[in-house]
Structure 1
Amino acid sequence: MDKPDKQTELRILLLEDEATDAELVEHALRKADLSFTAKRVDTRETFIQALEEFKPDIVLADYKLPSFDGGSAVKIARQQYPDIPVVIVTGAVGEETAVELLRLGARDYILKDRLARLGTAVRRVLSEEEDARARKAAEKALFESENQLRLLLDSAAEAIYGVDMQGACTFCNPSCVHMLGYQHADELVGKNIHELIHCRHADGTSFPARDCRIYRAILRGEKVHVDDEMLWRADGTSFPAEYWSHPQIRDGMATGAVVTFLDITSRKKSEETIWKQANFDLLTGLPNRHMFRDHLVQEIRKAHRDSMRMPLLSIDLDKFKEVNDTLGYSMGDLLLVEAARRIKSCLCDIDTVARLDGDEFAVILSESDNVGSIEQVAGNLLQKLAEPFQLENEVVYVSASIGIALYPDDATGVEDLLKNADQAMHAAKDKGRNRFSYFTQAMQEEAQTRLRLGNSLRGALVGNQIMVYFQPIVELATGSINKAEALVRWQHPERGLINPAEFIPLAEETGLVFEIDDWVFRESMRWAKHWRALYNPLLQISVNKSPVQFHKGGDEAAAWLSHLQELELPGQSLAIEITERLLMDSTAAVTGALSVLRGAGVQISMDDFGTGYSSLSYLKKFDIDYLKIDRSFLSDMVTEPNDLALSEAIIVMAHKLGIKVVAEGVESVKQLSLLTLAGCDYAQGYLYSKPVPPEEFEELLKKGYL
């Protein structure tokens, strides 16, 4: 309650058997300017009832009553209602009695002949009681706060400890004790915390407290947050920690600090894992393209600073795709891991090797700036990678093509250097593989030309620059033109007529080959319908189908057959020319497409027979209709008996299998005579006609034969 004043009405319980004395007491209180409500009782029972129901602020009790006394009243009040003070108001009492009453809990005693001091005594007692209640409340709040703080400290997952200005630990919570590997808090409290857990770097070397970041912050009264601390356990092991230190300030002066820390071992491991995944190839453990670029930047700076040349090698495994396709990706992965190991074995520790993508690796030779040392490393790499690979129960042979670009001779920037090394690598492949090639300016010019050509090719179809030419295929027995091959041409607005060998590979790389092949097919069939109606109802047009189209999937074969139906053309009006390499790839997409076409009557012609794998089993498997003997056999057949013998053998073999034979590249009458004698069925070449536009080919059809 508030301290009593004039405005506060008190509830006063009077334990008094004499009404006159009670009135005197009340009079004295009013005279003391106290506002109150009084209730008088004079027995034990009424006293106890009034304590419960009236709830007085203070009890004024006479010492002697007929059936009750003040001492008993004090006992009852203190036992049941300890917050209600009792003041004895009585006649003369002895000193011993007064002392006993005070011992029992009476707050004061006033003699009835001295009631003038009663008001002052009541005010004092009530004020003391209020102070006592406030003190108890504060103590209770403090106790609860300390309990909450202790509970918080004890249950916190974070380690927490206090430290004074001398560096001694003042307290620590269970997490701190546990995290530091101790059994009890007293193993830390009172001890120099720096000497116990901070005194060594990660490498184990010690350092003094004056260099400790926590201790320096304590002395300055500053907050500090560190996420790269190394703390030491009781057993001498260490762990990475993140900690926060908050100063304790008293009267404007730093008295110590409270430090919270976490064991961040798991976080560091996760960060390391993420960093490795971002910078290293997970399969081989080599740096990936991202990290390699960073290394390359540093090596370029170093080479520039030291005025040295720096070689960059681009390495690509030859025939790696065949391993994946035939043995599966798991075997391909084993090959890549072993290839990475072999490449590293050829290099010095200061060199850098990375896996950039797929079967493509790159190497920086840090201190090999002369041609001899560069070529020695390149030669060792070729030798190591050409050795057989034992992949579980399989032995695999591959080789490598290596491109070499030099800083600053060939480029000074990262992108240009990588690009030039890659171009040199492709040049090595074009030269036959299993070799290395230096970058040259001619490669750069060729690459730029290809880039410009590729960009132009995108607009060629829309700009009506793509054209189809036809070359007659003559039946040797009759000289009639019953077949023709459709050949795509590009009429470039600046370069004129561009050979397909130059732009078809670009079309395959860019994906435009699908649109081009489809356009050639539809344009050829449009002319076929026209010519079959006017000149030869049995005319068949052969269309080259790019190998990449067979791997595209989808319903392109069905779409072509649907277009033939729209034109009311039979399947026999179309022949599809494929390569030996395509037949080697017996995937579901290839066999499915060929089966659909053959089922509709479309005939299949194998182009350039004899230049590839020439596996006879594939001729039987895919039911080939025509073999086209490559021009390379015909060019020397007049003067080279072996070439003639090979051509004759191909013709005999094909006929035994029920396959017709077409000779490509016939340019002389002598070649024609030898082919006729060998029993060849058809001939195609400049002896009859070069590929010509549709209008010129129509003139040939009008004649009917050549």
Structure 2
Amino acid sequence: MKSRLTAGLIRHRASMSKWIHGPHMLAFLPALSLAGFWLGGEMALIAVALGLPAAYALFSDGAGVRDPGGPLPDLVDTAAAQDLAEQVMTQAHDANLATACFLVEAEGLDSVARRAGDDSAQVLRDVMLARLRAVIRRNDRAVRVGDARFMVLLGPSLRLDLEALLTLANRMQRGLEEPAQTETGTHYLSAAIGFCGSTRLRGQSGGARLLEAAQAALSEALANGPSAIRAWSESMRAERKARKTLLSEVERALAKGQIQPWFQPQLCTSTGQISGVEALARWLHPERGIVPPAEFLDALEDAGQMDRLSEVVLQYSLTALRGWDEAGVEIPRVSANFSDVELRSPQLIERIKWELDRFAMPASRLGVEVLETVIAESPEGVVARNIVGLSQLGCQIDLDDFGTGHASITALRRFTVNRLKIDRSFVTRVDRDEEQRRMLAAVLGLADRLGLETVAEGVESVAEHALLSQLGCDHVQGFGIARPMPADRLADWARAHAERIAAAQNIGRGTG
């Protein structure tokens, strides 16, 4: 009996000690301070007001006050990141406090590694981690969890509402985006941030759930442009689930042949005849119909399937080209887009050569479209060698979205670019906007001096088409001419277009 009483007394004292030293005890600070003033005057008030928080800081079990752990490594793997998040969540739950997880993506580090080498990139990683640790509190934790990703876990605290977390995210971002100096020069990086506070999660969520929510918020931030900040919300859960469904569905679609290229014609402004077609991937969904590439290309990239997509588009394109030849439809060449991922493949040249030989097709009938940003960011290395190798093979190199990147004139020469594809932002309203017209004329003049052909994208009206012809643009492409279509429909369109051209020539000769 005595032992049971003793054990009960010990549990009672432990419970009282936990209650007294718990964070909710601070809620009684105003009342205790006032009582102290009534009983003992100003000195008692000061003693209570200062002494109670000090005692709490000294004796509290909460990890929000003491350092939650010893020194951390700079880089941790996924499992270790989840363990850290679990520790902080447990400490916060035991102390009835809140915590939060921030994930930061340094945008531009991969470009620095390509241009200036990984040593410079590593210096920037160290600088960014040091800057993060400089803006957080002593009991917060900051580590790197990838080549360009960082994680910050906040020590449990009394007040971590959305406004406070957003303020901290902005402070982190301002610090990270300050110019950073390395031996290779000054670098400017942007930082996207996704975060989640533990109070926004339902039920007894653990560290893995907190980290997953922060990852969903970061994905949303990255999808909304550079330097975006996003807080996790319940709606992101449904979006993330839908994205996972899309990811598995689009992989199956690629394997089943549901993703195929459609073809958009390009016209010569001098003759009006078809000068080529561009192959554009389309998903022929059995239930949803035609799914545009904006909805599935990112999913394929996340799944590491861009190389496979390139193979599918190339095979269908060369098959279509051979079919048009056999049907007597004159299509001089087909152009396909090659992403940065595909251009990094060491086997790219051999694969293209093998496909051309298999279809008995000269390389001159294959156009390779490369984004200007790829050329600007890859002056050396495997990407540069592949582009030069494709040009030497005989393929025509088109620089896509010209005017949106920073490719130099030297780069245009070194990569043996044949045509500039002028971005639609230079074409829109060119027939109504004088400043737009002057800008476009300057781009066309530069191409002419460099001996490069030009293709204007996004032509949507007869007036734009006519003005581009007058300004000396060599080729035009856009919805105002024809939308992308399957290979068989393009053959019908090409025959009808040839008849229109012939009829117009006959009218012209008859009038003369």
TM-score range, shorter chain: 0.7 to 0.9
Could you say which residue in structure 2 is the equivalent of 1:300?
A: 89
Could you say which residue in structure 1 is the equivalent of 2:339?
A: 546
Deviation at 1:493, TM superposition (A): 2.3
Q: 1:559 aligns with which of 339, 351, 354?
A: 351
Q: 1:515 aligns with which of 271, 286, 308?
A: 308
Q: C-alpha deviations, 1:72-105, integer Å up to 9, x for none?
A: xxxxxxxxxxxxxxxxxxxxxxxxxxxxxxxxxx
Once the two structures are superposed, the pairs formed by residues 143-222 of structure 1 within 5 Å of their partners are: none
Aligned 8 A contact 2:338 2:369 in 1: yes
Q: Secondary structure at the match of 1:387?
A: coil
Aligned 8 A contact 1:663 1:683 in 2: yes
Once the two structures are superposed, the pairs formed by residues 482-501 of structure 1 within 5 Å of their partners are: 482-501=275-294
Deviation at 1:697, TM superposition (A): 0.4
For residues 83 and 394 of structure 2, the distance between their equivalents in structure 1, rounded to whole angstroms, comes to 59
Once the two structures are superposed, the pairs formed by residues 211-610 of structure 1 within 5 Å of their partners are: 280-281=72-73, 284=74, 289-366=78-155, 367=157, 368-392=159-183, 394-410=185-201, 412-536=205-329, 539-554=332-347, 556-584=348-376, 585-610=378-403
For residues 393 and 82 of structure 2, the distance between their equivalents in structure 1, rounded to whole angstroms, comes to 54
Aligned 8 A contact 1:401 1:426 in 2: no
Deviation at 1:660, TM superposition (A): 0.9
For residues 307 and 495 of structure 1, the distance between their equivalents in structure 2, rounded to whole angstroms, comes to 48
Q: C-alpha deviations, 1:622-664, integer Å up to 9, x for none?
A: 1211111111222222332222211111111111111111111
TM-score, normalising length: structure 2: 0.78
Aligned 8 A contact 2:332 2:365 in 1: yes
Distance 1:510 1:300, change over 3 A: same
For residues 361 and 546 of structure 1, the distance between their equivalents in structure 2, rounded to whole angstroms, comes to 27
Say what the alpha-carbon RMSD is for the aligned residues: 2.3
Aligned 8 A contact 2:363 2:395 in 1: yes
Could you say which residue in structure 2 is the equivalent of 1:265?
A: none
Count the aligned residue pairs.
426
Aligned 8 A contact 2:83 2:207 in 1: no
Distance 1:523 1:293, change over 3 A: closer
Deviation at 1:397, TM superposition (A): 2.2
Aligned 8 A contact 1:289 1:355 in 2: no
Deviation at 1:509, TM superposition (A): 2.1
Unaligned runs of 5+ in 1: 1-274
Q: Secondary structure at the match of 2:405?
A: coil
Structure with more strand by fraction: 1
Structure with greater contact order relative to length (CA < 8 Å, sep ≥ 6): 2
| One-letter amino acid matched to 1:445 | A
Greater shift in the superposed pair: 519-528 or 433-442: 433-442
Distance 1:513 1:290, change over 3 A: closer
Q: Secondary structure at the match of 2:256?
A: coil
Aligned 8 A contact 1:288 1:354 in 2: no
For residues 141 and 395 of structure 2, the distance between their equivalents in structure 1, rounded to whole angstroms, comes to 55
Distance 1:388 1:533, change over 3 A: same
Aligned 8 A contact 1:528 1:540 in 2: yes
Deviation at 1:306, TM superposition (A): 4.2
| One-letter amino acid matched to 2:375 | L
Q: C-alpha deviations, 1:396-448, integer Å up to 9, x for none?
A: 22232111111131352322221221221232233333342211233332222
Kindly indicate whether residue 453 of structure 2 is the aligned counterpart of residue 660 of structure 1. Answer: yes
Distance 1:564 1:552, change over 3 A: closer
| One-letter amino acid matched to 1:474 | L
Distance 1:446 1:641, change over 3 A: farther
For residues 440 and 139 of structure 2, the distance between their equivalents in structure 1, rounded to whole angstroms, comes to 57
For residues 462 and 689 of structure 1, the distance between their equivalents in structure 2, rounded to whole angstroms, comes to 29
Q: Secondary structure at the match of 2:200?
A: coil
Could you say which residue in structure 2 is the equivalent of 1:696?
A: 489
Could you say which residue in structure 1 is the equivalent of 2:21?
A: none
Q: 2:462 aligns with which of 669, 677, 680?
A: 669
| One-letter amino acid matched to 2:404 | T
Could you say which residue in structure 2 is the equivalent of 1:67?
A: none
Q: C-alpha deviations, 1:381-408, integer Å up to 9, x for none?
A: 1121122223246332223211111113
| One-letter amino acid matched to 1:293 | Q
Aligned 8 A contact 1:532 1:539 in 2: no
Could you say which residue in structure 2 is the equivalent of 1:100?
A: none
Q: Secondary structure at the match of 1:353?
A: strand
Could you say which residue in structure 2 is the equivalent of 1:201?
A: none
Distance 1:467 1:590, change over 3 A: same
For residues 292 and 113 of structure 2, the distance between their equivalents in structure 1, rounded to whole angstroms, comes to 33
Distance 1:435 1:601, change over 3 A: closer
| One-letter amino acid matched to 1:560 | I
Deviation at 1:292, TM superposition (A): 4.2
Identity %: 27
Q: Secondary structure at the match of 1:624?
A: coil
Deviation at 1:599, TM superposition (A): 1.9
For residues 485 and 304 of structure 1, the distance between their equivalents in structure 2, rounded to whole angstroms, comes to 57
Q: Secondary structure at the match of 1:552?
A: coil
For residues 497 and 648 of structure 1, the distance between their equivalents in structure 2, rounded to whole angstroms, comes to 37
For residues 557 and 683 of structure 1, the distance between their equivalents in structure 2, rounded to whole angstroms, comes to 29
For residues 560 and 370 of structure 1, the distance between their equivalents in structure 2, rounded to whole angstroms, comes to 55
Could you say which residue in structure 2 is the equivalent of 1:193?
A: none
Distance 1:389 1:462, change over 3 A: closer
Deviation at 1:666, TM superposition (A): 0.9
| One-letter amino acid matched to 1:309 | A
Aligned 8 A contact 2:324 2:331 in 1: no
Q: C-alpha deviations, 1:518-577, integer Å up to 9, x for none?
A: 1111111111122124335562111111220111212x3222223222322222211111
Q: Secondary structure at the match of 1:515?
A: helix
| One-letter amino acid matched to 1:543 | A
For residues 451 and 273 of structure 2, the distance between their equivalents in structure 1, rounded to whole angstroms, comes to 21
Q: Which has the larger radius of gyration?
A: 1
Aligned 8 A contact 2:142 2:153 in 1: yes
Aligned 8 A contact 1:469 1:489 in 2: yes
| One-letter amino acid matched to 1:310 | T
| One-letter amino acid matched to 1:348 | R
For residues 385 and 312 of structure 1, the distance between their equivalents in structure 2, rounded to whole angstroms, comes to 17
